[in-house]
């Protein structure tokens, strides 16, 4: 049950990361600006979101605590990536640009939520299971 709950939440967060840079709060390129660093960040974020969704899907079809543990570790890494990718690849630092006031805050928020959920899932993976 806990695998499914954590899996569903992580899947939805992964979906959010995948859809944000293009559809929910699009990066500048989709507001009529030319392609720039924030466009590349958006693509990278969508890729990371897909990885998170795949790892969350694994949780939906498994009841093993080992799966929960490793899936949440993967999710933790993706959560950190979601937050750090904009700094690594780059985005527009002007507060008048759509990626600065829309996409990046949303991604930071989602990334933080992913980290919290995956940490909770990681802790849960040690509780209630007895060693063989």
Partner 1 sequence: MARVSIILGIVFFASYLYAGPYSVPAGTKCDECGMTVDQNSKFISVVTGKEERKLFFCDIGDMLYHFRSTGDEIRSVSVRDYVTSEWIDDRNAFYVMNKAFITPIGWGVAAFSKESDAKQWGSPVAFQNAFSLIKK
Q: Which residues bind partner 1 (CB under 8 A)?
A: 33-38, 40, 90-97
Q: What is the largest CA-CA distance in the chain?
A: 59
Q: Considering beta carbons, is residue 1 or 96 the nearer one to partner 1?
A: 96
| Rounded Cα distance, 75 and 52, in Å | 6
| Contacts with 105 (C-beta within 8 Å, 6 or more apart), sequence order | none
Q: Considering beta carbons, is residue 66 or 87 the nearer one to partner 1?
A: 87
Q: In the bound complex, what is the minimum distance in angstroms from residue 65's beta carbon to partner 1?
A: 44
| Rounded Cα distance, 72 and 53, in Å | 12
Q: Considering beta carbons, is residue 79 or 98 the nearer one to partner 1?
A: 98
Q: In the bound complex, what is the minimum distance in angstroms from residue 17's beta carbon to partner 1?
A: 21
Q: In the bound complex, what is the minimum distance in angstroms from residue 28's beta carbon to partner 1?
A: 9
Using alpha carbons only, give the angle 105, 108, 111 rounded to the nearest 5 degrees.
150
């Amino acid at each position: 049950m806990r695998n499914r709950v954590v899996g569903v939440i992580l899947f939805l967060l992964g979906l959010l990361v995948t859809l944000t840079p293009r559809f929910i709060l699009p990066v500048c390129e989709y507001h009529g600006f030319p392609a720039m660093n924030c466009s590349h960040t958006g693509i990278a974020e969508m890729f990371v979101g897909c990885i998170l969704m795949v790892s969350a899907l694994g949780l939906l079809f498994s009841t093993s605590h080992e799966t929960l543990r490793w899936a949440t570790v993967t999710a933790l890494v993706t959560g950190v990536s979601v937050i750090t990718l904009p700094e690594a690849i780059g985005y527009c630092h002007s507060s008048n640009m759509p990626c600065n006031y829309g996409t990046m805050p949303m991604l930071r928020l989602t990334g933080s939520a992913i980290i919290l959920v995956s940490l909770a899932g990681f802790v849960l993976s040690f509780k209630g299971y007895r060693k063989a």
